Amino acid sequence: MPALSATQAHAVISNYSKINNKANAQRDRALLDTVEDGPTYAMSVSDYTETEGLPQADRKPYKPWSYDTASAKLYIPRFSTGQSRWFAAALSSEKGKKPSRIAVFAEQPKDKRWELVSVIDLDSTKLPDIALDKDGYATAVAATGNKHLAADSDVLRTAVIDNFATGGTNTGTKVFEPTKASKQQIKVHDKTTRKFGKLGTTVFAGGTNRFKDAYALKTSDGSALMLFAHAHTQTDAVAHSGLQINPDKDDNAWLHGIPRTSVTYTFVCADAATVPAKAAPSRLIGYTCARTDASGPPVGSAATDRA
């Protein structure tokens, strides 16, 4: 049976916008926790934390917003009794604009609440052609261990991390064809690893991923839209003693303006890709990242060799 009706799905989206605004205005983590979970909650909380680290004068006034339910495209799968229920929606936060992000709402079995667990900004408003049955419902397919697709969520996650870590050298450019999103991740690697020149280094690596849940919907050509999350780290370090990294004000919440010899940033990201049924490259069609932590040894905290 369907996860819920279209009317109920619209109500879930409207309720999310309403509660999210209320929580954001006060940076109320407990209230936010009633409508968000997964990578989305982690990203929102990091946004709160970053804001709280800024001087009052630098905090932007909060602007209320909402998802436009009239333009929302719903992808509601059918589930058997006992299966975890979820649905996806293509959404726009501006009336009259075509949807340009995909969100996943999942039911939390414990309290039967629907919460936003993932939201991904897409590269374009051209949405994947999700297969719908005669009643307008979508078909969920296995996201992990799916042998009927060219790649599963684990393979995609590894390839995305490789885009950041090596510029796609190992698996990124083999798993993904060059799309705007994939090229952007590689550009982040190339640009960031060169930013210090000879004065320092930047290394990207996979992070501890707490968000293993992945979601997949069948598309009309037998492929699948895959929605998953990953975590990666970025470690900046000075090339030799006598140099220091001066944190900017956006890092205040974590680094408190104290100069460091190295800084490791942690990012949580949500990703969307279309995966073919045959052996061929997948297409990364969007991703959204947020810095969720930063740490590193202060200058002078350990013995250093000085010239």
- Per-residue pLDDT of 234-287, as tens digits, reads 999 999 999 999 999 999 999 999 999 999 999 999 999 999 998 899 999 999
- Contacts for 221 with CB less than 8 Å, ≥ 6 apart: 129, 277
Answer whether residue 288 shows pLDDT above 60. yes
Whether 243 and 276 have beta carbons less than 8 Å apart is answered as no
Question: Could you give the CA distance from residue 292 to residue 33 in angstroms, rounded to a whole number?
Answer: 16
Q: Report the length, in residues, of the chain.
A: 307
CA angle in degrees (0–180, nearest 5) for 188-189-192: 75
Which pLDDT belongs to residue 3?
83
**Confidence band of 303 (pLDDT split at 50, 70, 90):** very low
Task: Average the pLDDT over 30-53 and give the result.
Answer: 97
Nearest to 102 by CA among 165, 40, 14: 40
Share of the chain above pLDDT 70, in %: 98
Region 19-45: mean pLDDT is 97
* pLDDT level of residue 302 (50, 70, 90 thresholds): low
Mean pLDDT over the full length of the chain: 94
| Residue 306, pLDDT above cutoff 60 | no
Least Cα distance to 215 among 228, 203, 202 occurs for 228
Cα-based distances in Å from 209 to 34, 129, 261: 22, 29, 26
Whole-number Å distance between alpha carbons of 98 and 155: 31
3-state secondary structure of 270: strand
> If you ran DSSP here, which 8-state letter would residue 219 be given?
B
Q: What is the pLDDT of residue 177?
A: 96
Report CA dihedral (246, 251, 252, 255) to the nearest 10 degrees: -70
